[in-house]
Amino acid sequence: MAFQGFAIAAHTEWDADSGTGSPYVVYAYATNIAQVAVDTRTGNVRVEKIWAAHDVGKAVHPVSVEGQIQGGTTQGVGYSLMEGYYLNQGKPVNPDLTFYFVPCSVDTPEIEPIIVEHKYDKGPYGAKGFGEQPLMGVAPAITNAIRDAIGVRFYKLPVTAEMVWAAVNKLDI
């Protein structure tokens, strides 16, 4: 058996000059809390645990939702602490995975996915889309946890061990 269909999205409008309007059909909400350990001798930051709560409308397939939260959260750890893309005179210094670091299993913290369900009456089966959402709040959660640990706030990503070490030792690198 096969089915086919289509949907026309609700009308949206946005006035960039006034900053008013309704540019999206639906909003999804999320929050993250990160627990980190900072080695002040080396500057190394280890993310120990992340609690990741996501409003998904109705979780049609909860196991997939948890997987999406875990995958996106892990991407956020990489974005926060290791994924720096560097250029020298416009040419990439780290064009491959030899020197462009991404998280592997030992870098992945314990992640506690928290699925917040409140059916969205305009979504399929009450669901909301949230594909990229799990990545978005991880960096602020981690950098805020680092700030709580050492008293220094970072505004540039990734927050490397060298940056943390310099901040702890009050050096400008």
Catalytic residues: 132
Determine the Cα–Cα distance for residues 142 and 145; give it in Å rounded to an integer: 5
In this structure, are residues 22 and 122 in contact, taking their beta carbons and an 8 Å threshold?
no
Determine the Cα–Cα distance for residues 154 and 143; give it in Å rounded to an integer: 6
At position 126, the amino acid (one-letter code) is: G
CA distances to 9, 46, 92, 117, 157 from 100, in Å: 39, 18, 10, 37, 14
Measured from the Cβ of residue 43, the count of other Cβ atoms closer than 10 Å reads: 19
Residue 57 dihedral angles phi and psi, to the nearest 5°: 75, -120
Determine the Cα–Cα distance for residues 4 and 27; give it in Å rounded to an integer: 26
Determine the Cα–Cα distance for residues 125 and 21; give it in Å rounded to an integer: 27
